[in-house]
């Protein structure tokens, strides 16, 4: 059986949200929860987002509201593969 890797993070359709959580930490998280992290500065959150999304600043969205890191999300592709 051949293992299939998830889609590349460099896809232009990959949106990364950045913003602050309720404790004031900076959060960066891919829209489907594929990757994310907590950061002490906005600059570090943006640097991480750019690294993960293949250097596409146009796909980074800074949110004006609070955002909490949720690493419990299951990307649709994984759920659909398990259902098959």
How far apart, in Å, are the Cα atoms of 29 and each of 2, 4, 16, 25? 29, 23, 5, 13
pLDDT in tens, the chain (84 residues): 555 444 444 445 589 999 999 999 999 999 999 999 999 999 999 999 999 999 999 999 999 999 999 877 665 544 444 444
Q: Look at the pTM and tell me if it is higher than 0.75.
A: no
The CB-based long-range contact list for 34-41 (8 Å cut-off, 24+ gap) reads 34/6, 34/9, 34/75, 35/9, 36/69, 36/70, 36/71, 37/69, 38/69
**Extents of the domains making up the chain:** 16-83
């Amino acid at each position: 059986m051949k293992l299939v890797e998830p889609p590349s993070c460099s896809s232009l359709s990959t949106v990364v949200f950045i913003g602050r959580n309720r404790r004031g930490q900076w959060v960066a998280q891919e829209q489907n929860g594929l990757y994310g992290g907590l950061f002490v500065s906005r600059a570090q959150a943006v640097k991480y987002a750019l690294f993960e999304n293949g250097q596409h600043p146009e796909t980074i969205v800074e949110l004006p509201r609070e955002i909490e890191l949720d690493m419990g999300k299951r990307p649709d592709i994984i759920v659909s593969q398990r259902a098959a």
